[in-house]
Amino acid sequence: MLREIADKIAYRILLSTMKCGKTASEICFENGLPLSSTYKKIQKLFSVGLMSIENISIDDNGKKVISYKSKFQSLEFSLTQNGMSIGLKRV
């Protein structure tokens, strides 16, 4: 999970979707990311439990539109002599 969060693109996607759900296209436009990379990262973040599907709808052209949202509001990482800990504040 930490590896996914540390990834630059994944980090931007998670930050972008903390307050409200967004489509992959909205995330791309907002962050200047390639669409294909964004879709791959969203699927990876979804599979490790860091993102959820907020809404599924059908647009005017009959295409399925999915809004994704980060599952947490904040992340706390701590590294001490006793080990490492990660704290997630869930939405």
Condensed to tens digits (0 to 9), the pLDDT of residues 69-86 reads 998 776 676 777 887 666
Name the one residue in this structure whose structure tokens are 């969203």.
Answer: 42
Please count the other Cβ atoms lying within 10 Å of the Cβ belonging to residue 28. 19
Mean of pLDDT over the chain: 85
pTM above 0.85, yes or no: no
Q: Per-residue pLDDT tens for 49-63?
A: 889 999 999 999 999
Q: Which domains does the chain have, with CATH numbers?
A: 2-90 (1.10.10.10)
pLDDT of residue 6 exceeding 90, the answer is no
pLDDT at 22: 97
Please count the other Cβ atoms lying within 10 Å of the Cβ belonging to residue 80. 7
CA distance 8 to 27: 14
**What phi, psi does 37 have (nearest 5°)?**
-65, -40
pLDDT of residue 25 exceeding 90, the answer is yes
Residues 50 and 1 sit within 8 Å (Cβ to Cβ) = yes
Residues 68 and 51 sit within 8 Å (Cβ to Cβ) = yes
pLDDT at 80: 77
